[in-house]
Amino acid sequence: MARLIRKTAKVSGSGGGKINVRGREWTKEDLRELKNHSREKTPAKTIAKLTKRTVGALRQKAFILGLPLGRSSREWTKEDLRELKRYARQKPPATTIAKSMKRTVAAVKRKASTLRLSLGRPVREWTKEDLRELKSHLRKKTPVTTIAKSMRRTVAAVKRKASRHGLLVGHRR
C-alpha cells in the first residue's frame, strides 16, 4: 500500500506555523478532463503528467467516480447493475456472479464495493471423506480448534456440521 506523503505549507499571517495539505482540490474542469481521459483510455501515467497529479490520486478519484482508468474495460449498463444488485440480494459467491455475468471476479467485487453491496462468500461443500475425517477426530476426542485447522475450516463450520449429524463436539462423554 502506498504511503500518504503530506506536504506542508506556510500559513501566512499566523506566525509562520505549518499546516498539512493533502493536495489540490478537484475542480469541475479537472473532473471533466479526468472523465475525457477515461473515455479515451489514456494511460494513468500520461494523465498524471498532464494534470500534475500523482497516479495514486488519479486512481483514487477515478475509483470514487466509478471510472475505468487507462485500461480497457466493459462498461456497466443499467441492466448489468440491476443484475448485480439482484445477485447481491441472493448472496452467491463473487465467482458465481462473475461466471454468470461474463466478467472477472475483480470487476464484480470492485463494482459491488462502489455500490456498497455485500456479496456472499464461497462455500466449500463437505465431502463424504470430510465427514469421515470429522467423525474420526471426534472419536479420538481431538479439540475442535485442532480439527478445524487440520480440515482447513472454521471452528463454527466444524461445530455446525457435527451438530447437524448429531455428533457431540467438545463435550466430555
Q: Is 20 helix (H, G, I), strand (E, B) or coil?
A: strand
Per residue in 62-113, pLDDT (tens digit) is: 889 888 887 656 789 999 999 999 998 888 888 999 999 999 899 999 999 9
Enter the C-alpha cell of residue 140: 479420538
Q: How many CB atoms lie within 10 A of CB 157?
A: 15
Per residue in 39-75, pLDDT (tens digit) is: 888 888 899 999 999 989 998 998 898 888 876 567 8
| Nearest Cα to Cα of residue 47 among 20, 18, 67 | 67
Does the pTM surpass 0.75? The reply is no
